[in-house]
Chains A and B, each alone.
Chain A
Amino acid sequence: MTELTTRAWLLSDAPQTRRQAKLGALYQGWLTFRANKLAMFGLVILILLVLMAIFAPWLSPQSPFAQNLADRLKPPSAAHWLGTDALGRDILSRLIHGSRITLFIVGTVALIAPVIGLFIGTVAGFAGGWVDQVLMRITDIFLAFPKLILALAFVAALGPGIGNAVLALAITSWPPYARLARAETLTIRHADYIAAARLQGAGPLRLLIGHVWPLCISSLIVRVALDMAGIILSAAGLGFLGLGAQPPMPEWGAMISDGRTYILDFWWVAAVPGMAIFIVSLAFNLLGDGLRDVLDPKGAKE
């Protein structure tokens, strides 16, 4: 009974308070999202990944760093569910601890790159004129470099390490967001509702943050969710090349790199972290698709 009334309260056409209206809008979005089974599947995987990262020390059967050369390159067994690597370390434990690093990379890049992109793109689109020209040419310069090569150059200049790898990825992945945000801004800036706000005396900063950003952010979020897979793969790529996480950190890309030498005889050393990257990337893609259904104003119902 109470559940029914809560639902009615949330879906009310005539909300009585600001809070009810906000929660109602959120609930509507959740209903749309929930209808997409694949997106829910992606969300469940990602929640599991987050839980795995939080409880890593309790979940992993052994230390991710404990070496045992007598047990090296053992296939999956009861003692080592996913086998051991070249130094006799338990791959499952390394995988579980590696989820923390993966989340750190993805989370940091996802926080930095879209924010830079949003800021540059909306300012360029909204201001127009020479500001637009300058900002967009800078964006073009960044876009003209192959992303991974530019990231490599940054890491080489800053020195290898997980922090620098994240920074390099963030610096190289903002231009597409800037372009997207600018394109959105150009369609918004001559809208009547912006003109109406201007007529009330709203300044450019208020228009940008209060009126333009809310409309750009949803398409950016969708784009970020879809790009997550690429970011994980780039981070893995940097790790694979030895420029990301340094040994003995259990970063998934670096783990694949370690297993490369034995890939024909001891396939699980490279395949297991590869599977992990695959599953997480897929989950982010599915989540992104679902978010697009909910957030993208162009696909909106009515």
Chain B
Amino acid sequence: MLKVENLDVWFGDLPERVHAVRQASFSVAAGESFGLVGESGSGKSTILRAITGLAGGWSGRIEVAGEAVSGRHRSRAFHKTVQMVFQDPYASLHPRHSVDRVLSETLHLQGMDQIDARITRLLDSVGLGRGFRFRYPHQLSGGQRQRVAIARALAAEPRLLLLDEPTSALDVSVQAEILNLLSDLRKDRGLTFVMVSHDLAVVAHMCDRLAVMRGGEVVEQMAAPVLRSGQAHSAYARDLLAASSSYRRESA
């Protein structure tokens, strides 16, 4: 479904170029849920932005559904196949657009018909009632906003959903709701997930496989059971696991 080979991503021009990702390679099979974990600044979100054409310069090879993409331009077919949910639901919804406007514009752009009926169905599928349809973002809570953002991403009926820390801006009880919603949607629609997170517990719960990143490089790839049993190969991945588990014990 998604194949990334020798991906390098950088921002700015020489001599002040910042190299955010170096030689990252991984692939995600259709229907799989893949996690990208690492500290902040390790380049995990940048990979998602490079895939969607939102990041600066990149080199290497990115293949989505068997088609290579190039530069920053993406085709209509790409937008129909790949969608993204952003980290901060307070920043990812236009403050002057109602939920109705957001969804109808998206459906219109994606060339869908029966827009009215589809909006109702989308809202139902993310657990928001019809009463939310004509609200503005400032009338919604963080969790409700993220549901709207998920509905927007699902409007095009994509096969690959990129999740950029979809719950890190939400408080814990709402996190669980959103994660369950995402799991259910994946099951119902046979979606492929690529999920970026710094929360190992979330990734262990949501993903089949994951890659650990550090300083822009992929340090190790492992299956989720390995993560849960704490048997990582590389020293850094073990440190990361130890750090997050000791944090958990202290905070408990």
Chain A 85-136 interface residues, beta-carbon cutoff 8 Å to B: none
Q: Which residues of chain A in 197-213 are interfacial with respect to chain B, using CB atoms and an 8 Å cutoff?
A: 197-202, 206, 210-211
Q: Does A13 contact B (CB under 8 A)?
A: yes
Q: Quick one: given A25-B136, A193-B93, A202-B109, are A18 and B100 in contact (CB under 8 Å)?
A: yes
Residues of B within 8 A of A17 (CB): 134
**With A13-B135, A21-B135 known to touch, is A196 a contact of B92 (CB < 8 Å)?**
yes
The answer to whether A196 touches B109 (Cβ under 8 A) is: no
Complex interface: chain A residues within 8 A of B97 (CB): 193, 211, 214
Could you give, for residues 67-98 of chain B, a 1 whenever the CB lies within 8 Å of some chain A CB and a 0 otherwise? 00000001010010011101110011111111
- Please count how many residues in chain A sit with their CB below 8 Å of the partner chain's CB atoms: 28
Query: Does A195 interact with chain B (Cβ within 8 Å)?
Result: yes
* Assembly CA distance A17 to B130 (angstroms): 10
Q: With an 8 A cutoff between CB atoms, is A192 at the interface?
A: yes
Which of A14, A191, A300, A302 is close to B135, meaning CB atoms less than 8 Å apart? A14
Q: Which of A15, A17, A297 has the most CB of B within 10 A?
A: A15
Complex formed: what's the CA distance from A222 to B119 in Å?
35
Query: Which residues in B have their C-beta under 8 angstroms from that of A302?
Result: 138
Contact call B79/A200, Cβ cutoff below 8 A:
yes
Does any Cβ of B come within 8 Å of A16's Cβ?
yes
Taking the closest CB of chain B, its distance from the CB of A122, in whole angstroms, is: 15
In Å, the complex CA distance between A210 and B106 comes to 12
Residues of chain A contacted by B100 (CB below 8 angstroms): 18, 21
B135 touches A192 (CB 8 A): no
A25 to B94, CA, bound (A): 15
Q: Does A221 contact B (CB under 8 A)?
A: no
Would you call A193 and B92 a contact (CB within 8 A)? yes
Docked CA distance A13–B134 (Å):
9
Asked if A82 is at the interface (CB within 8 A of a chain B CB), the reply is: no
* B interface residues, tally (CB under 8 Å): 36
Asked whether any CB of chain B lies closer than 8 Å to the CB of A183, the reply is no
Interface string of B140-156 (1 = CB under 8 A from A): 00000000010010011
Q: How far is the CB of A299 from chain B (nearest CB, A)?
A: 13
The answer to whether the Cβ of B139 comes within 8 Å of any Cβ in the partner chain is yes
A215 beta carbon closer than 8 Å to chain B: yes
| Shortest Cβ gap from B88 to chain A (Å) | 6
Contact with B along A24-40 (1 / 0, CB 8 A): 01000000000000000
- CB <8 Å contact, B135 and A18: no
- The tally of CB-CB contacts under 8 A between chains A and B is 81
Q: Given that A201-B110, A214-B96 are contacting pairs, would A192 and B86 also be in contact in the complex, using a CB cutoff of 8 Å? A: yes
B105 part of interface (Cβ distance < 8 Å): yes
Please measure, in the bound complex, the distance between the C-alpha atom of A18 and the C-alpha atom of B115, giving whole angstroms. Answer: 14
CA distance A193 to B93 in the complex (A): 5
Complexed CA–CA distance, A214 and B102 (Å)? 14
Check if A200 sits within 8 Å of B132, measured CB to CB: no
Closest-by-CB residue of B relative to A16 is: B134
A196 touches B84 (CB 8 A): yes
Q: Which residue of A lies closest to B164 (CB)?
A: A192
Q: Is the CB of B86 within 8 A of A215?
A: no
Given contacts A199-B79, A302-B138, contact A21 B91 (CB under 8 A): no
Report the separation of the CA atoms of residues A12 and B96 in the bound assembly, to the nearest whole angstrom. Answer: 18
Point out the residue from B79, B92, B139, B149 that lies within 8 Å of A201, measured CB to CB: B79
CA distance A206 to B88 in the complex (A): 23
A67 interface residue (CB < 8 Å to B)? no
Smallest Cβ distance from B12 to chain A, in angstroms?
Answer: 14
* CB pair B84 A201 closer than 8 Å: no
Chain B CB within 8 A of A20 CB = yes
5 pairs of residues in contact across A and B, judged by CB atoms under 8 Å: A18-B98, A192-B91, A200-B105, A200-B155, A202-B109
